[in-house]
Structure 1
Amino acid sequence: MSKRIGITILLSLIGLTFLLTPLSAKRSQDIYYQDQVAVLMYHHIHDTDTSSSTITSSLFQNQLQFLLSKGYHFITLNEFKQYLAGATVPSNAVLVTFDDGYQSFYTGAYPILKSLRVPAVNFVITHDLADPLASYIPSMSKEQISEMTHATNFINIGCHTDSLHNKLPSGDAMLVGRMDGENDDAYKQRVLQDTQACVGKLAGLTDAPLDVMAYPYGITSPAATEQIQKAGIRYAFTISPEMATRSADHLLIPRINAGSPGITPELLDRSIQRRIQAQPGSAPLRVDAAAAVAQLGGSASAEGGALRLRLGQEAFTLQVNAAEATRGSARVKLKEPVLREHGQVTIALDDLSALFGLPLVYTPSTGTVAARVVPSVKSN
């Protein structure tokens, strides 16, 4: 009798384990938002310096790890640009940005970003490159910037002006205010030349395009933005605390502050959640299953009324109107049913991604599906 009871308890525990495993995994698969990006803003990572825009390395790491555990997906600057041009991004997409080009990015943030494979972009005040240690807060050197951008495929740099990250005696930011006796033409020339100088000084420190900027103090004006655009800047960031969407002005991209000492990981999560933009009536993105797998290097074949997909060592069979796929004798649940639309068997992009364990991106302009580039450190 006792043996039978023991077996019963053991089987119950095993069943409970199978029941609990999907539930515990579900948390990291929750979808909070789609087709929008939380662009986070940081400045200074330091364990002894204190200010309203300085956080410790441990808080920074805890923030990133917490967001990762909650199912947020960190994207690169290039992926963000592709998104603005029409491509998809993962659900719960986040872009990490830093302002000012402080040396603490290299010494404090970069090791954490590298260990977690979290992409980031740093907007540099290029005037400080001439003597990095002379600034009030030490700045990164050219060698440090070049090392990071060339050693990884996920650290980028951009402009934060060359010499205009200051305020005039009037209190106006130098980027938007007029200096004594300065007419409109002289003002425009000053902003244009400063932006060109910033881009020029960063040239050679990265192989990526230098077409991004963050406005000092988050402040700009139509006149300033016009000159910045003339200098080749295509994407510019403010400090308006909103989610970034594809419909936003690419030269007025909002960002959510994450770099203040009172912003705990939980508070940062809630801050993002509060700013999610409603998407009424939005439906999951669907793709032609056979064409998508072929673009990824796999194959598809019809088997009766079913479609068999093969990619690498994985093979799945899809049944039209079923919200599941089969792998051998095993059944894999899908979030959305497989449908036949206009003669094609379609599947939700997220379901296709989950089946093959690949983060996927879809570009409507070309109708192509591709695997997202995995953040990596390059071998020497």
Structure 2
Amino acid sequence: MFMRKLVVKAVALSIFGLGMLLPSLQAAKTNVLYKDQVAVIMYHHVDDDAKSAGTITTKLFEDQLTYLKNKGYQFITLQQFRDYMQGAKVPHNAVLVTFDDGYESFYVNAYPILKHMRIPAVNFVITGDLENPLASYIPSLSKDEIVEMTTDTNFIDAQCHSNSFHYKLPDGSAALLGRIVTDDKKETEEQYKQRVLGDTQACVAKLGELYPGPIDAYAYPFGFYDNKTIDYIGQGGMKYAFTIVPEMATRDEDPMQIPRINAGNSAVTPEVLDSSIMRRIVAPAPSSQEVPLADTMNQLGGKAAAAADGTVTIQYQSGQWTGTANANKLTARAGGKTITLQKPLVLKNNKVFIALKDLETVIGAQIVYNPTVQSFSVRQTPAAKK
């Protein structure tokens, strides 16, 4: 009966919600700051008295959202984000608001602002705290508060931040990532797998009792994860997982490693948040584009030089390669492995140029262009597996 009432209420709200979201679906044709990407912004605690690196005041929170809204940013729901990752269009200047930890301050301080401004948000909840929300060091959301927010609107979501993994093990590793040691015996890989699977499934089950929406998104506790973590929470029902890597989100990326830009620090003024987003806009360049090798490597944090005899050297992190201008071969100094370029290195006006796709092959990473700062950068978030 409880679930039936929730479903009926959700259906009744759908008409209201569709009308409310039409402005974001009809993306403004003017003031296009970026398109076909999403700025996922991250918060934790909104409180006027607490002081911490993850806390901002109610006024700053409202000022940030107001500033972004007035500048033409368009706030989207988690469902719109899911649809985008599956190939649907997204409004220009799209922003997804996320919160970690499921603090009660979200209900008390953030939710009234979000509801008044009709801005969607998702809170990643530690479901183990639901049974006794006031027992936490910082009070947590209750079941009733989650039910109220997710049924009185259709644009507030609650998703997983684990059931009980928001702590560190004695060796300092995150509970999600580390291995538990009992009586000097480390848990086996199968035990670890079952622990992660069980925790994830518990989170899904507990949130699934509160509202009928899909529970398939996860925020990694402390931002720590690895390939096994990704695999096991995926087996537990997760299709989207959010990191703390500060980049823009695009559908070309691994949906289990979605980046987010931190907005929940008292030093992040509305102008700083706007600048943070603008500095991370990505505009993938055509693979055939040729770029000046030395200048581009400097922007990427590496080095490149051409000697008078035409010898070209490239250095990036621990790798070094040598080649010759007007040739299409580069040889690694360590091991002597040869890379065959799609296009030869070209000498123009005393500068060596390389095809951008070839440079990506050399350094082993995706390179993107930011039109705001007019420079190239290495993408930290891995591409989606094809």
Q: TM-score, normalised by structure 1?
A: 0.66
Give the distance between the partners of 1:142 and 1:170, measured in 2 at CA: 33
Give the distance between the partners of 2:162 and 2:102, measured in 1 at CA: 11
- 2:338 corresponding residue in structure 1: none
Residue 267 of structure 2 is aligned to residue 266 of structure 1: no
- 1:255 corresponding residue in structure 2: 260
Quote the RMSD (CA, aligned, Å). Answer: 1.4
* Superposition deviation, residue 218 in structure 1: 1.0
- 1:335 corresponding residue in structure 2: none
- 1:113 corresponding residue in structure 2: 114
- 1:71 corresponding residue in structure 2: 72
Is 1:236–1:250's contact at 8 Å kept on the other side of the alignment? Answer: yes
Give the distance between the partners of 1:32 and 1:59, measured in 2 at CA: 23
* Superposition deviation, residue 204 in structure 1: 2.2
**Secondary structure at 1:29 match in 2:** coil
Give the distance between the partners of 2:102 and 2:222, measured in 1 at CA: 14
Match runs of 1:135-214 below 5 Å: 135-180=136-181, 181-214=186-219
- 1:238 corresponding residue in structure 2: 243
Give the distance between the partners of 2:274 and 2:211, measured in 1 at CA: 32
Is 1:239–1:254's contact at 8 Å kept on the other side of the alignment? Answer: yes
**Secondary structure at 1:60 match in 2:** helix
* Superposition deviation, residue 87 in structure 1: 0.5
- 1:123 corresponding residue in structure 2: 124
- 1:275 corresponding residue in structure 2: 280
Is 1:243–1:276's contact at 8 Å kept on the other side of the alignment? Answer: yes
Is 1:28–1:69's contact at 8 Å kept on the other side of the alignment? Answer: no
* Superposition deviation, residue 279 in structure 1: 4.1
**Secondary structure at 2:84 match in 1:** helix
Give the distance between the partners of 1:219 and 1:249, measured in 2 at CA: 16
Match runs of 1:325-364 below 5 Å: none
Give the distance between the partners of 1:82 and 1:127, measured in 2 at CA: 29
* Superposition deviation, residue 205 in structure 1: 1.3
- 1:86 corresponding residue in structure 2: 87
* Superposition deviation, residue 29 in structure 1: 3.3
**Secondary structure at 1:61 match in 2:** helix
Residue 221 of structure 2 is aligned to residue 220 of structure 1: no
Give the distance between the partners of 2:29 and 2:225, measured in 1 at CA: 38
Is 1:28–1:71's contact at 8 Å kept on the other side of the alignment? Answer: no
Amino acid at match of 1:254: P
Give the distance between the partners of 2:52 and 2:30, measured in 1 at CA: 35
- 2:303 corresponding residue in structure 1: none
Give the distance between the partners of 1:222 and 1:178, measured in 2 at CA: 15
Amino acid at match of 2:226: S
- 1:59 corresponding residue in structure 2: 60
Amino acid at match of 2:154: N
* Superposition deviation, residue 28 in structure 1: 9.9
* Superposition deviation, residue 122 in structure 1: 0.2
CA offset digits 1:202-230 (Å, max 9, x no partner): 11212210011100011111111111000
- 1:330 corresponding residue in structure 2: none
**Secondary structure at 2:144 match in 1:** helix
CA offset digits 1:212-257 (Å, max 9, x no partner): 1100011111111111000111000000000000011000000000
Give the distance between the partners of 1:42 and 1:165, measured in 2 at CA: 16
Is 1:76–1:95's contact at 8 Å kept on the other side of the alignment? Answer: yes
* Superposition deviation, residue 74 in structure 1: 0.3
Give the distance between the partners of 1:280 and 1:32, measured in 2 at CA: 17
Give the distance between the partners of 2:121 and 2:163, measured in 1 at CA: 21
Give the distance between the partners of 1:70 and 1:279, measured in 2 at CA: 24
Residue 234 of structure 2 is aligned to residue 229 of structure 1: yes
Give the distance between the partners of 1:29 and 1:217, measured in 2 at CA: 38
Give the distance between the partners of 1:133 and 1:85, measured in 2 at CA: 38
- 2:380 corresponding residue in structure 1: none
Give the distance between the partners of 1:133 and 1:208, measured in 2 at CA: 26
Amino acid at match of 2:151: H
Amino acid at match of 1:249: D
Give the distance between the partners of 1:223 and 1:253, measured in 2 at CA: 16
CA offset digits 1:12-37 (Å, max 9, x no partner): xxxxxxxxxxxxxxx99311110000
Give the distance between the partners of 1:178 and 1:147, measured in 2 at CA: 37
Q: TM-score, normalised by structure 2?
A: 0.65
* Superposition deviation, residue 278 in structure 1: 1.5
**Secondary structure at 1:130 match in 2:** coil
Distance of aligned partners of 1:28 and 1:267 in 2 relative to their CA distance in 1, 3 Å threshold: farther
Match runs of 1:26-41 below 5 Å: 29-41=30-42
Give the distance between the partners of 1:217 and 1:39, measured in 2 at CA: 17
* Superposition deviation, residue 280 in structure 1: 4.0
